[in-house]
């Protein structure tokens, strides 16, 4: 039986991003050889629609470009994602870089100027705090070691 791997649904082509798009990343198909891929979008799980206003983290809050505070949605989606991982013994995840939910290491700074700062998205941080190894789509090679 293959190990389960949580993957940001948008990285598997699902049209769940804020702008109603997804990504086609060829390397994701290679992961199917070794893992059972489990698509999830913490933002949608937290009750946000597709499409939705873009959001970034500023001063610890997740705010849309129009100033609406959607922090609770992001936190709820992160909790649901973590709960699913725990119940299904998922120990690894590939999440979308730079996202206010899934970003790891570098996220947008909340000014909508495409400026990156050190930090993690809400779901990424919660998963890492609970012992789940998180990779971005730029770190997939680490899953073959």
pLDDT tens digit string along 30-71?
A: 899 999 999 999 999 999 999 999 999 999 999 999 999 999
pLDDT tens digit string along 71-103?
A: 999 999 999 999 999 999 999 999 999 999 999
**145 falls in which pLDDT band (50, 70, 90)?**
low
pLDDT tens digit string along 108-121?
A: 999 999 999 999 99
Q: How far is CA 81 from the centre of its chain?
A: 10
17: CB partners within 8 A, 6+ apart:
10, 50, 51
Whole-angstrom distance, CA of residue 54 vs CA of residue 99: 10
- CA triplet 83, 10, 55: central angle to 5 degrees? 80
- Which pTM does this prediction carry? 0.95
- Tell me the C-alpha to C-alpha distance, in Å, between residue 100 and each of 26, 120, 136: 24, 7, 13
């Amino acid at each position: 039986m293959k190990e389960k791997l949580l993957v940001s649904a948008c990285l598997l082509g699902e049209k769940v991003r804020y702008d109603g798009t997804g990504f086609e990343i060829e390397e994701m198909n290679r992961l199917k050889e070794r893992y059972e891929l489990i698509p999830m979008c913490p933002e949608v799980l937290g009750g946000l629609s597709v499409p939705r206003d873009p959001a970034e983290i500023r001063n610890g809050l997740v705010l849309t470009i129009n100033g609406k505070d959607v922090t609770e949605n992001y936190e709820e989606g992160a909790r649901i994602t973590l709960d699913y991982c725990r119940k299904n013994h998922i120990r690894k995840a590939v999440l979308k870089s730079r996202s206010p939910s899934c970003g790891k290491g570098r996220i947008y700074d909340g000014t909508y100027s495409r400026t990156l700062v050190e930090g993690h998205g809400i779901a990424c941080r919660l998963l890492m705090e609970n012992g789940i190894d998180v990779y971005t789509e730029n770190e997939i090679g680490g899953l073959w070691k």
